[in-house]
């Protein structure tokens, strides 16, 4: 006959069949007296471990490559002249975007759109020198969203437009933006 504690232990973990199976094995071994306390503690531990495992699914690694001037001149886009085996292999394993639209025919507004999810019409930025934080100081970039969710965000090269009066955005990176020496 089940005790009230046994019924409560099973009711707590009903949504976790694997945990219930483990508790069932422990219950078969357990006897009265001291084993009741061991069984109850193990049941609580299995429920806790099951809840932690269910609450923390593994996060994928994210590699984001932003290229605005390349055009689809890569083998993975069907270019017969391009010899890009490493990028082709990466594209086959990841997500390849096959439709790209330009929001503005100037680099900085297009990059702002990519990193902020806001159109040039929304920001009112149509030129190279205006930094988006001058217009929208509280903007949250894609990389800031990743950082707020436990990721490390690093950049190298030209992610935001740098030059012609504009600059990178230090708030968007976990570490200092890497720039090639002399470039």
Residues with active-site annotation: 107, 161
* Pairs from 69-75 (Cβ < 8 Å, separation ≥ 24): 69/107, 72/98, 72/100
Q: How far apart are CA 140 and CA 144, in angstroms?
A: 6
Cβ atoms within 10 Å, residue 44: 14
Of 138, 165, 143, nearest to 156 by C-alpha is 143
Q: How far apart are CA 133 and CA 124, in angstroms?
A: 12
Cβ atoms within 10 Å, residue 60: 7
Locate tokens 């886009």: which residue?
Answer: 77
Q: How far apart are CA 60 and CA 146, in angstroms?
A: 12
């Amino acid at each position: 006959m089940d005790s009230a504690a046994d019924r409560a232990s099973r009711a707590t973990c009903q949504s976790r069949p694997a945990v219930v199976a483990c508790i069932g094995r422990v219950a078969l071994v357990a006897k009265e007296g001291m084993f009741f306390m061991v069984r109850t503690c193990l049941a609580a531990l299995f429920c806790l471990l099951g809840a932690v495992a269910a609450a923390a699914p593994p996060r994928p690694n994210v590699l984001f490559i932003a290229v605005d001037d390349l055009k689809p001149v890569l083998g993975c886009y069907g270019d017969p002249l391009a010899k890009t085996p490493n990028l082709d292999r990466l594209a086959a394993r990841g997500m390849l975007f096959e439709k790209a639209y330009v929001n503005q025919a100037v680099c900085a507004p297009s990059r702002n759109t990519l990193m902020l999810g806001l159109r040039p019409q929304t920001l009112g930025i149509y030129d190279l020198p205006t930094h988006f934080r001058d217009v929208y100081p509280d903007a949250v970039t894609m990389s800031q969203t990743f950082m707020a969710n436990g990721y490390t965000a690093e950049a190298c090269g030209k992610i935001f437009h740098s030059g012609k009066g504009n600059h990178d955005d230090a708030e968007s990176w976990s570490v200092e933006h890497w720039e090639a020496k002399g470039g």
